[in-house]
Amino acid sequence: MKTRKQFYVFPPVMVLALFSSVLGAMMTEIVDAFSITLALAGLFSTLQAVGMFICLILSFCVFSAFNKAKLISIGSFAFAVLIALIGINENLYLLYAIFLLLGFAMNLPDNLSHALLADMSGRQTRKYITLLHGAWALVGAVAPYFVLTVQGSYKTAFLITGAVVAFAALINYFGLRREINSPMMEDRNRMGHLRKLIDVLKRRGMILFISISFFTCFVQVPNLYFLSAFGESFFGIQMHGLLVLSLYFVGVVVGSAIYARVSHVVSKYKIIIIVNIAALIVFVLLPLMNNMVVVIVLAFLGGALLSPTMPIVFGQASKAIKEDTAAASSLIFVGVGLAALIAPPILGVLGDAFNLRIAFLINSAAFIPVIILSVIMFLRYGRAKKGAA
């Protein structure tokens, strides 16, 4: 398959960042519009995670045997429709139902894109997954300014976002139409069962990779929901909150670019340890600062330091289960989904009980198990082959 076709996998994932940024920027307005607490706002993430888990189970047990490109396309168009529904909905309970379905629809392109890239890229898998995450973050960096250009309420913002997502789905469809129009069933032997689950969990490092993805996303996922509100709470101006979120995503872009350059000369296991120790320091300092410039710089550094971990984890998981990349990606997303299920509601409860500064400070403790697990992984595997892919 031609290398350039891999880039058509990117648009459905890139617009996930747009949606996350718009949601984070509009969360305060949604909370006010429906008169709910931060804890109840955290339920949006919880319901998304439930939808994600349903999708993950199907991905592992059923979708592994199906045409990944076709499923990504279906999920992308469904995602666009559901976002538009947020813009016309007036009922809180229906909104919760929409977020449940969003979790399922979003996870199809998010999960299976990693698997499809692994199938298409071979030894260059980690490179393209890093580029994918960098492209995702690039959209996240400009998305807050997109929010500022949208005139009207959060409803207008989501309607326009839905249209942008539909356009991204069309780019993906026309770029990969030969693959998408291929038969749905690819390999019945990939159908999942308990023995398959036990087998893949025994593969080199899989339990560690899943655990690291959980604790890493325990920090990352709440950032998408509450970082803008967190920045706004410092100075009471929405622009400041959006700037903090934007610079966080710029940091992810820069961090991804730096990682892509150094990954061939520095052990990936050492990289995970170093960046997470530094990230722990940054995310402890962030809620303690009162200077706007310092807060923005720390948000940028936080994004840069968080950026290498998940591409490394996805790349190594796909390498461990080369014959079934969808299963590998699904298992890593179990960690992501658990974090999405638990972390935002906890942060919301802490924010209601205390404030978002204390909530983010407590949440930064999730870096400690990431560091411990990364050290264990380095001691087990890192010494054997430094800088291995």
How do residues 153-162 score in pLDDT, each as one tens digit? Answer: 788 889 999 9
pLDDT (mean) for 53-59:
82
Instruction: Lowest mean pLDDT of 52-56, 243-247, 264-268, 321-325, name the range.
Output: 321-325
Judged against a pLDDT cut of 90, whether residue 188 lies above it is answered with: no
Predicted confidence (pLDDT) at residue 170 exceeds the cutoff of 70: yes
Query: 293: Cβ–Cβ under 8 A, 6 or more apart, which residues?
Result: none
Please give the pLDDT value at position 101. Answer: 96
Task: Report how far residue 71's alpha carbon sits from residue 330's, in angstroms, rounded to the nearest whole number.
Answer: 14
Say whether pLDDT at 2 is over 70: no
Contact 278, 376 (CB under 8 A): no
Q: When comparing pLDDT for 17 and 224, which is higher?
A: 17
CB 225 within 8 A of CB 289: no
Helices (H), 176-291: 177-180, 194-201, 206-235, 238-262, 268-285
**Residue scoring higher pLDDT (231 or 217):** 217
**Residue 191: Cβ within 10 Å count:** 15
Q: Residue 295 has which token pair?
A: 């807060």
Give the pLDDT confidence score for residue 197 in this predicted structure.
67
Q: Residue 386's pLDDT is what?
A: 46
3-state secondary structure of 343: helix
Between 202 and 354, the higher pLDDT residue: 354
Q: What is the mean pLDDT of residues 305-321?
A: 84
Domains along the sequence of the chain with CATH: 3-382 (1.20.1250.20)
Q: What's the pLDDT band for 205 if we cut at 50, 70, 90?
A: confident
Tokens read off for 118: 């692994």
pLDDT at 194: 53
Residue 93 has pLDDT above 50, yes or no: yes
Which residue would you say has higher pLDDT here, 343 or 368?
368
* Residue 92 predicted with pLDDT over 60: yes
Closest CA to 19 of 100, 88, 96, 102: 102
Say what the pLDDT of residue 196 is.
64
Which pLDDT belongs to residue 15? Answer: 93
- 237 backbone dihedrals φ, ψ, rounded to 5°: -125, 125
**Mean pLDDT score, 218-223:** 86
Which pLDDT score is estimated for 216? 93
User: What's the confidence (pLDDT) of residue 234?
Assistant: 73
Of 280, 188, 274, 290, nearest to 233 (Cα)? 290
State CA 197 to chain mean position distance.
23
For 169-196, what is the mean pLDDT?
74
Residue 388 banded pLDDT, cuts 50, 70, 90: very low
* % pLDDT > 90, the chain: 30
3-state secondary structure of 185: strand
Tell me which range, 119-123, 149-153, 262-266, 375-379, is most confidently predicted by mean pLDDT: 375-379
pTM of the model: 0.78
Kindly tell me if the per-residue pLDDT of 186 is higher than 70.
no
